[in-house]
Structure 1
Amino acid sequence: MKNQLLLALATVLVLSACTSEAPKAPLSEQNLEFEIYDSLVVDYLGNVTLMDISPDGKTFLLIDQNTDSLLLADGDGQLIQTYMLAGEGPENYPKSRLGVGKFLNNDQFLIPTMGGLFVYDLKGRLNKRLEPDFAPQINVLMPYSEAHFLIGNRVYLHFPGRMNEEDLADMNFNQNATLLEVLDLETGKFEGQVNLPKESRFAQKDESINVIDFFPNLTAREDSIFIAFRNEPKLFGYQVNQLNSTPKTWDIPLEGFIENTSWEGPKDGSIDLRRFFFGSINDLYALNSGEFLINYQAGLSDEVAAEVMSVAGSDFNKIFKLGGEKNKGGYILFDLQNSSPIIKKPEVLGSINKVISRDEIWFSLDFANVEQDYTVIYKTRIISR
């Protein structure tokens, strides 16, 4: 009997050892890649990207970047609706979109613009127009980024411009204005929230901050909003019910990231192209795993940037083409401590359109290198090799 008990115990220990997972390597040592495992194919010829998916997963909201036409498709890629809502017209939104449109529910979607937020039903009929009580001051538009997030009955969005007259007069609004607007969908009231965090290096300067360096990337998860400025490798986290409290702050290890420490631009007021080739955080996504998916570029040294300018001369297209070829970076994961190496990406993939989770990341086609006579949006997940 005693031997039988010992044998049973040994069997349990062996099974336990076999079924227990080996400890994972730190994120900084993992080799990750995007794996394509599904796609949405739509019989439509154009430069199309996915903006959002309805909460029930049945309806896809897309946009043709060439025409600003909106498309609705079902999960099989069948077109449900196509309409042009941008431009002139009593129910149209102005073309200056702040970001992509998103579903409010299964029957309505919201388009954020310089003129306010426009709510449409699936037939393209305007249900509501929500306008701020101030004139927005926006120098940089990112129409294909995520500019707003819905949490409960409130919309959180980057909508700068709420400032005092004295701030507008001396152009110090970058430091004194609020970074976010919170819109109550029931009352239609906008409220300015979140000042420049004191933990940011941008808060250490008295003069105005160049908007290219300062542009904030937003993301949200559950009851929290996260911000990362374009030229600062830090992450700031706020709970939505404590937006004006001191944020949690994390340093993001980004290999070779070059920060701009030259605060003064050209004296003649011309565009300082050098600013476009410092390190940049271009996209930020909060994953339900607790990690963050970040798209960044490390930037160019002064010597390499000068070489690019010298070779390209005054040809803007050539400057950005050469600079882009030399500017290294890509997508990485950040777990609040470590960053992964660059995640490998199949050549057919373009840019991320929509992130649902680590196991559902939607990419557009790489239009620069692949031509199709139909629209395809790739569904991917992050795997470890």
Structure 2
Amino acid sequence: MKTIKLLLAVALLQISLKSCKQPSEETSASNWSLVLVDSLQVGHLGEMMLLDISPNQELFLTADYQKNTYFIINRNGEKISEINKSGDQPEAFGFAYSEMIFWDDETIFVIGSKGLKWYGLTGNETNFVPFNSEYQLKGIMRNTGGGPIILQDRGNTKILYRGGAVNGKRTEPGYLEKIRGGTLIDPETFDLEHIFPLEKDSRFFDGKFYDDGDLYSRLAVGKDFVYVTYDSNPVLYAYEKTHPYKLSFKRELRLININQSEGMPAEYVDYEVYLDASKGGLRNLQVDDRYVYLMYFEGIPKERLAEIEQLYEIDELKADAAYETEVSKREKRMKVFTLKGEELSDIKLPNFLDSYWGFIARDGFLYFNKAANNEIEEDFYTLYKLWLEQ
């Protein structure tokens, strides 16, 4: 097994990423840049994605969803534990409704179809709260930094996870009024409180119909605010971090080079769960004690999607490969804001960062998965640690 491997010499650690790229990959017209600080390499054959970092910064939690397996990795790049708790085996969580995260330095946590489940670092179940049948969540999308968030609410510890679409047809009157951007879960009882209703001036109230992917919410908890975005609504919302979470401010966003999702007339609405990774829009929302970070994705043009759909009728394998190639080469950008929502920069992210599936902001650093190599099957996973500076 390969263990940690520094990919750059110490003398190169402070070189800006933009100096390593071609001119066409310039990050920003401003002087903002991403600086590569460190990297971690783990021997692994298959797909792997960063989910969370332990509070003490000593451990990384990753997942290979094709193998239904989670991995605990230390700072030396060693897999210290492999955990597979899906399905119906003893101590299983059943189907995972959320990404797994660290509850503390010694415990990991997941919202599953059997209930709330806590495990030790070796996979032994340490706590269980039975599932609440009132919990409804349609359309799981796996992404780095998109898991539940531990939130102090009115002096109590709560679990904050995204809200989203509800049961019922999108054409039914009052459907949008039921949508919520987040769900507060009591970890001792699984009692629920649905928060962050759609603001009435959002684009979703334009008389058209939007699918579950358009309504997918992203959440980030800062010192004073809970920040909320929706994939197909170019607005950043900030709510007071005190009950009842009143809207403090919102920022209309100017998105560069986006194939924006469009609402559908009623006659074209598909009533099934529909999450389309090819759509352009907001993707990943993070915050630390310096900035708010919002990544957005260009999306695939409708004309190219139509060509790929035709290819599926001839050769599904080639169509899948063409789809993955299109997603990987489409532009990803990251907006940076002050904690009060003033936009500071809009940076084009380099292609070697797997920014489409998100990243984690932690203590002033940004952690990105390395982009997959679509031409060669690699037997290792790489994690990058970066610093944003002016």
2:362 to 356, 366, 380: 356
Q: Deviations over 1:256-288 (max 9, x none)?
A: 445445432654849899976553111111232
Are 1:296 and 2:315 counterparts?
no
Deviation for aligned residue 1:233: 0.8
The structure with higher relative contact order (CA 8 Å, sep 6+) is 1
Kindly report which structure 2 residues correspond to 1:182-331, keeping only aligned pairs within 5 A, or say none: 182-205=184-207, 209-264=210-265, 267=268, 269=270, 278-289=279-290, 291-299=291-299, 305-306=302-303, 308-310=305-307, 312-313=309-310, 315=312, 317=320, 320-321=323-324, 324=327, 327-331=330-334
> 2:182 aligns to what?
180
| Number of residue pairs matched by the alignment | 349
Contact 2:28 2:347 in 1 (8 A): no
Distance 1:150 1:274 in 2: 26
Amino acid across the alignment from 2:370: S
Greater per-residue helix proportion: 1
2:381 to 369, 375, 385: 375
Distance 1:242 1:338 in 2: 27
Distance 2:324 2:379 in 1: 26
Q: Deviations over 1:351-380 (max 9, x none)?
A: 344321443424335343565433332222
Identity of aligned residues (%): 17
Amino acid across the alignment from 1:330: R
Distance 2:130 2:224 in 1: 25
Contact 1:365 1:378 in 2 (8 A): no
Q: Partner of 2:354: helix, strand, or coil?
A: strand
Deviation for aligned residue 1:170: 3.7
Flag the 1:284–1:237 CA change in 2: closer, same or farther, 3 A. same
Q: Deviations over 1:224-254 (max 9, x none)?
A: 2211111111011112323452342111221
Q: Which moved more, 1:76-85 or 1:353-362?
A: 353-362
1:338 to 339, 343, 367: 343
Distance 2:354 2:292 in 1: 19
Q: Deviations over 1:111-138 (max 9, x none)?
A: 1234443211122122223345334443
Q: Which moved more, 1:264-273 or 1:314-323?
A: 264-273
Are 1:158 and 2:159 counterparts?
no
Q: Partner of 2:34: helix, strand, or coil?
A: strand
Q: Partner of 2:306: helix, strand, or coil?
A: helix
Distance 2:187 2:110 in 1: 14
Distance 1:274 1:141 in 2: 8
Distance 1:277 1:64 in 2: 21
Aligned residues: CA RMSD: 3.5
> 2:7 aligns to what?
none
Flag the 1:282–1:72 CA change in 2: closer, same or farther, 3 A. same
Larger radius of gyration: 1
Deviation for aligned residue 1:155: 1.0
> 1:140 aligns to what?
139
Deviation for aligned residue 1:105: 0.9
Q: Partner of 1:342: helix, strand, or coil?
A: strand
Q: Which moved more, 1:76-85 or 1:316-325?
A: 316-325
Provide structure 1 residue ranges, at least 5 long, that are not aligned to the other structure: 1-26
Distance 1:272 1:57 in 2: 37
Amino acid across the alignment from 2:204: F
Contact 1:218 1:284 in 2 (8 A): yes
Flag the 1:33–1:213 CA change in 2: closer, same or farther, 3 A. same
Distance 1:356 1:350 in 2: 17
Flag the 1:252–1:135 CA change in 2: closer, same or farther, 3 A. same
> 2:76 aligns to what?
76
> 2:315 aligns to what?
none
Deviation for aligned residue 1:101: 1.3
Distance 2:362 2:306 in 1: 39
Provide structure 2 residue ranges, at least 5 long, that are not aligned to the other structure: 1-26, 313-318
